[in-house]
Structure 1
Amino acid sequence: MIKFFYGIEGLLDEYKRNQLDKFGNIAFIITWWYLLISGFVAMLLYVNNSKIAAIFLIAGNLLISFLSLFSIIYFLRKKKLDTVEVDKSEYLDKKKKYLRKSIGLGIYFGVATHILNAIIDTVTQNGNFWTSISYVSNICTAVFEGIGFGICMYIVYLLKLKK
């Protein structure tokens, strides 16, 4: 999962691959135990109050998600597994590749958030999906979100690039 997320499957040597697999295995075991224990605790809480059980699961899942995200980032930075080393001759080509990839990710993010916001508006406000999706303010918001996300991803890619 970590390899897919960072898109570094083909760029790893054997040592980096082993380190990444080791961390992924440990993260999987911890997550599996968390799911087992939190499901049991939520079941016990559900007997008394279903609202408390739902809040416990949502808060716990968010906490574990953020902890795992930050631990993955810390591990990758510490072991320098996220750096992409290129020659000076390949540097401009790699920057162009990352620019195209960032533009694609920005478009994807903008479209996905626009559709999800329209669905959320339809469900929460009992409105019409097509009215919500064609509303100009929602379209402008999605465009700015996509541009911001694309810029952020381009900066992240450039920070990983090493001459």
Structure 2
Amino acid sequence: MLKTLNTKIIKRFYNISGPLDEYKRSEVNRIGNNLGIMLFLFNVLIIFIALLIEEATNNSTLALHILIGAILIFTVYIAGGYVMYEAHRYRLTDNEVEEKEVRHAYIAALKRGLGNGIYFGVGMYLLDCLQEYMSVNASLVGLFLDKTSIIYGIMCGILFGVTTGIVYLARIKRVK
């Protein structure tokens, strides 16, 4: 049970389709080790910089905001970009499909993009309503029925669904 859950988490995080064979597992381990070392060194460096800023300015709020911002930016853009680049470079994300199964793979990719778009759109709609509720203290029911929140969620869902659908379609590789 734990091994299958671990495999599912690895495949989901690295966006691997198909079986997780020895080559893919060794590359995932290498990427994960490099990422762990990179994140550790960055955290040590940014905490040291935040402490220097706090000591120099005597403003702990500024140091905390710099620390949080730098960690978020580094984790999302640098570490996430590194994982995506390496996974693409070593062809971990390729969806190899036989010639007769290509049509089925295209339909599955479009369905997956549609599902991602629906989930993302609903999530953004709920987060937008929650953010408005927390900042304005308006009626939660009124916010759920607000047309701008609904349109925002729909547009986010469409954009995300189309984008992920295109990515899934581009990952399909024909094999003979």
TM-score normalized by the length of structure 2: 0.81
> Hey, what does 1:83 align to over in structure 2?
94
Aligned length: 163
User: Which residues in structure 2 correspond to 1:8-157 (within 5 Å)?
Assistant: 8=16, 10-39=18-47, 41-43=49-51, 45-46=53-54, 48-64=58-74, 65-157=76-168
Q: Please provide the CA RMSD for this pair.
A: 2.1
- Identity between Structure 1 and Structure 2 (%): 31
Kindly provide the CA deviation profile for residues 13-36 of structure 1, in whole angstroms up to 9, marking residues without a partner as x: 211220111111221232234334
Q: Within 1, Cα distance between the matches of 2:159 and 2:78?
A: 24
CA shift, 1:44, in A, is 5.4
Of 66-75 and 39-48, the range deviating more from structure 2: 39-48
Structure 2 unaligned segments of length 5 or more: list them: 1-8
Does the aligned pair in 1 maintain the 2:16–2:94 contact within 8 Å? Answer: no
Structure 1 unaligned segments of length 5 or more: list them: none
